[in-house]
Amino acid sequence: MKQQLQFATVPCFKRWSRKGYGIFASLGLRVTIGVLSASMCMVARAADGKSEAPADADSIASIELQSVGVTGTRATSTRSLTTQTPVFSRSLDGAAALPTVESALRVSPAVDVRERGGRSVQSDFLIRGGTVDQSMVTLNGINFTDARTGHQSHSLPVDMGIVSSIAVLDGVAGVGAYSGAIDISTSALEPNSLRAEMAGGMHEYGYVAAAGNLTRGDLSTMAAASFRNSGGYIEYTGFTNVNAYARAQWRGLDVQAGYQHRSFDSNGFYSLAYPSQYEKTSTALASAKWQGSAGPWQWAASLSYRLNTDQFELIKGDPSKVPFNHHITDNWGAELSGSRQWVAGKTTLSADWAYNHIWSTVMGDLVAPKRIGSIEYNHAASRSVVNATLRHRKDFGPAYVAASGGYSHSPFGDVGLWSATAGWQITDAWQLDAGGVKSMRLPTFTDLYYTATNYISDHNLRPEQAVTWHVSADYGNGPLSGRLYAYYRHGQNLIDWVKDNADAPWRATQLSKMDTYGIEATAAYAPRWRWLRAVQVSYGWITQSHDAGERDVISKYALDYMRNKASVRADFTPAPRLTLSLTGTLYDRIGNYADRSGAVRPYRPYFLLDAKATYSFWGRRMSAYAEATNLTGTRYFDYGGLEMPRCWLTAGLTLTLN
């Protein structure tokens, strides 16, 4: 076994030495802001020996990990009534090799992350057998999902250093979250601190970050910025990424703003026939949220804005052969809710509004040309969506029931929406929960309008609709915890991009119906022994049946799904001040793809091993780390033909100043 492991890791170390990057040469500087977990992960429940019934959607979930005067919140959509599935907690998972948000999501049995390029340059989040466009992405409870394409929804200006927790919202009624939502929370664990980081590694990788937070009375502020780049692991895969983010909280007011700029070579990202593709995107976002009370009423309101620009070059630097595509997408959002507790329970009336607009050189209806900057846009489209919901919750000691009803209005018509859930805290250790939700999603601007080389859109697409049922059981007692989650989703009018053969163009189409069945199981053991801190095992299984009408097509999204995912993680403390984390994950995807030669092939299972070692010193204010992703150098791809990086080693130095 020892010889086999050494053989498997040889390609990794050969590349490291060939590039000429030693670990010591890659050491840099980092100061870590402590972050507060705002979702109750299973290991934390195990430590407390109990689990809590899910709170109503507009309540604030807060867990005080240290007495530092700062708390975090998990604010969900006003339409959400169902439970949450914890994915990441900084306090519990910080030792693992999780350099990006996408890497944290990859090991969750509830989420399928399909990446293009290294270090999550472009990633798709697929929840429980859904597609990229069926997932809602929120930041601190604010919906920042992109209306043009789900490929841009992951582009949030936050790094793992300021992410406190990640959770999957198991259901959100109405428009926007057909298969669920991913909420990313940011917060600081310590009231006053500074952070800086420099790291480097293989593939000419470099990372620099700075952050700080300041607390004075009721005012808490935090700000962070980072720069990340790489020369690429193969030809045309280099990238540059810049993030800037700030958040301020004062009493019931919560304001956040951020900016991200990405430029990256896109070897075969959208067509394997063109290796020299290139893309440049910018995202600016901002939101303000307020929570307060007046008499017996509790009120919540929010306003948000997201601007995304995109320049895509099929042949890098040469618009004479294929003109560049340019897009500007505006996304506005607002929510308002009022709730009141009375003898019959808690009643909430809420409404939310979203406005989406796009300027484009190829996407939308033909309009009079409009010059923005140096680009002349001659296509545009817009739409507004309104959701209104009335919901009620009643607690019966250790049990509760809740239900909601309402409607969604959009240019595609009016649709009724509903959700229902019930839970029972059987004992301090056992909790049961069950529920259902009706959800939908509108066709993206890409689905409706994008027609270019090898792509044919469809103006007549209809919204997708789904009804999802779930049942879950949670256990937490001492160092042992576990969760079993099962679901069934009946979907109608599913949108997909398909091709009849390897040489045919991609075309938007609609499947009449699809049934998805899934089971997720997770177990964790956190003995906190001197040498073993925690072990976590998870498994997810999905199967689908569909009426596609076309059985032999090559699917880009809907008919490819992660059939099996199994993950094991162990955190060790082999010596004082030294921590080691190992994560191994097996991926088994169903579906077919056309490779670069045009041959149609099935997806093959693959295994990834990630590792991270951290040594703390100088009173734990400083620590050195080395991490490796895909340690065994496995050849794999999430989208057929797009080869992902083999072993990637990085190292750095962290410093915390309080």
Average pLDDT over residues 442-454: 89
Tally Cβ neighbours within 10 Å of residue 530.
11
Residue 295, pLDDT above cutoff 70: yes
Strand-pair partners of 356: 331, 383
Instruction: Name the pLDDT band for 484 (thresholds 50, 70, 90).
Output: very high
- Three-point CA angle 532, 537, 543, nearest 5°: 170
**What is the rounded end-to-end Cα distance, in angstroms, of the chain?**
45
Which band of pLDDT confidence, cut at 50, 70 and 90, is reported for residue 364? very high
Give the mean pLDDT of 352-358: 97
Contacts for 461 with CB less than 8 Å, ≥ 6 apart? 443, 447, 448, 495, 508, 510
Q: Which of 250-254, 551-555, 588-592, 651-655 has the lowest mean pLDDT?
A: 551-555
3-state percent helix, strand, coil for the chain, nearest multiple of 5: 10, 55, 35
CATH for 2-657, options being 1.10.10.10, 3.40.50.1000, 2.40.170.20, 1.10.3720.10: 2.40.170.20
pLDDT at 351 over 50: yes
**b or e along 233-265 (b: 16 or more beta carbons within 10 Å of the residue's beta carbon)?**
bbebbbbebbbbbbbbbeeeebebbbbbbbbbb
What's the mean pLDDT in 411-434?
95
What pLDDT score was predicted for residue 552? 64
Structure tokens of 477?
A: 């007692």
Mean pLDDT score, 98-122: 92
Sequence-distant (≥ 6) Cβ neighbours of residue 17 within 8 angstroms: none
**What's the confidence (pLDDT) of residue 551?**
53
**CA–CA separation, 302 and 189 (whole Å):** 24
**What's the whole-number mean pLDDT along residues 600-606?**
92
pLDDT at residue 53, as a whole number: 36
CA 199 to CA 25: how far, in whole Å?
9
Q: What is the dihedral of CA 93, 162, 477, 530, to 10 degrees?
A: 50
Q: What is the DSSP letter of 78?
A: T
The stretch 277-290 carries a mean pLDDT of: 97
> What pLDDT is stored for residue 35 in this prediction?
31
Q: Of 78 and 247, which is predicted with more confidence?
A: 247
pLDDT of residue 548: 57
pLDDT at residue 595, rounded to an integer: 86
Give exposure, 639-650, as e/b (b: 16+ Cβ within 10 Å).
bbebebbbbbbb
Question: Which pLDDT score, from 0 to 100, does residue 549 have?
Answer: 54
Measured CA to CA, the distance from residue 618 to residue 24 in angstroms comes to 18
- Residue 173's pLDDT is what? 81
Please report which confidence band the pLDDT of residue 43 belongs to, taking 50, 70 and 90 as the band edges.
Answer: very low
Question: Quick one: average pLDDT of 128-150?
Answer: 92
Q: Is 446 helix (H, G, I), strand (E, B) or coil?
A: helix
Q: Could you tell me the pLDDT band of residue 78, with boundaries at 50, 70 and 90? A: low
Three-state DSSP class for 4?
A: helix
Classify 488 in phi/psi space as left (phi over 0), alpha (psi -120 to 50) or beta: beta
User: At residue 505, does pLDDT exceed 90?
Assistant: no
CA dist 478 and 22 (Å) reads 43
Going by the DSSP 8-state scheme, the letter that residue 203 receives in this structure is T
Under 8 Å CB-to-CB from 6, ≥6 apart: which residues? none
3-state secondary structure of 33: coil
pLDDT above 60 for 258: yes
User: Does residue 91 contact residue 372 with C-beta atoms inside 8 Å?
Assistant: no
Q: What is the pLDDT of residue 75?
A: 46
- 3-class secondary-structure state, position 43: helix
CA distance 187 to 163: 7
Collapsed DSSP state (helix, strand, coil) of residue 328? strand
Q: What percent of the chain has pLDDT over 90?
A: 69
Pairing of strands 399-410, 600-602: unpaired
pLDDT in tens, 1-34: 333 333 333 344 343 333 333 322 333 333 333 3
Alpha-carbon distance of 442 to 459, in angstroms, equals 12
Mean pLDDT of the chain: 86
- CA distances to 85, 441, 462, 482, 513 from 561, rounded to whole Å, are 20, 19, 22, 25, 16
**Residue 41 pLDDT exceeds 60:** no
Confidence of residue 559 (pLDDT cuts 50, 70, 90): confident
- CA distance readout (Å), 626 to 38, 197, 567: 28, 13, 21
Residue 321 has pLDDT above 60, yes or no: yes
pLDDT in the model for residue 83:
72
Report the distance separating Cα 443 and Cα 190, nearest Å.
43
Q: Dihedrals φ, ψ of 212, to 5°?
A: -165, 155
Look at residue 69 and tell me whether its pLDDT is greater than 60.
Answer: no
Quickly state the pLDDT bin for 73 (edges 50, 70, 90): very low
Contact predicate 511/493, CB 8 Å = yes
| pLDDT in the model for residue 54 | 38
| Type of residue found at 13 | F
| Residue 556 pLDDT level (bands cut at 50, 70, 90) | confident
| Residues 212-241: tens digit of each pLDDT | 999 999 999 999 999 999 999 999 999 999
pLDDT (mean) for 95-116: 91
Of 381, 474, 384, 465, nearest in space to 424 by CA: 474
Q: What is the pLDDT of residue 652?
A: 97
Q: pLDDT digit string (tens) for 148-177?
A: 998 888 899 999 999 999 999 887 887 888
**What ranges do the domains of the chain cover?**
2-657
pTM: 0.87
Cα within 13 Å of Cα(28), Cβ side: 19
Please answer whether residues 356 and 441 qualify as being in contact, where contact means their C-beta atoms are separated by less than 8 angstroms. Answer: no
Nearest residue to 520 via CA among 182, 43, 171, 109: 109
Mean pLDDT over residues 63-90, rounded? 55
Written as six digits, the tokens of 333 are 């959002």
User: Residue range 352-361: average pLDDT?
Assistant: 97
How long is the chain?
Answer: 658
**For 44-48, 116-120, 578-582, 583-587, which range has the lowest pLDDT when averaged over its residues?**
44-48
Which residues are CB-contacts of 27 (< 8 A; sequence separation ≥ 6)?
Answer: 198, 199, 200, 624, 651, 652, 653
Q: What is the pLDDT of residue 610?
A: 96
Cβ burial 113-145 (10 Å sphere, 16+ → b, else e): bbbbbbbbbbbbbbbbbbbbbbbbbbbbbbbbb
User: Do residues 236 and 266 make contact, with C-beta atoms less than 8 angstroms apart?
Assistant: yes
Structure confidence at residue 29 (pLDDT):
34
Please, which pLDDT band fits residue 273 given cuts at 50, 70 and 90? confident
Q: How buried is residue 432: exposed, middle or buried, by Cβ count under 10 Å (0-12/13-18/19+)?
A: middle
Q: 583 is written with which tokens? A: 């994560």
What mean pLDDT comes out for the span 500-520? Answer: 89
pLDDT at 658: 84
Looking at the chain, the whole-number percentage of residues with pLDDT higher than 70 is 87
- Distance, in Å, from the CA atom of 92 to the CA atom of 624, rounded to the nearest integer, reads 19
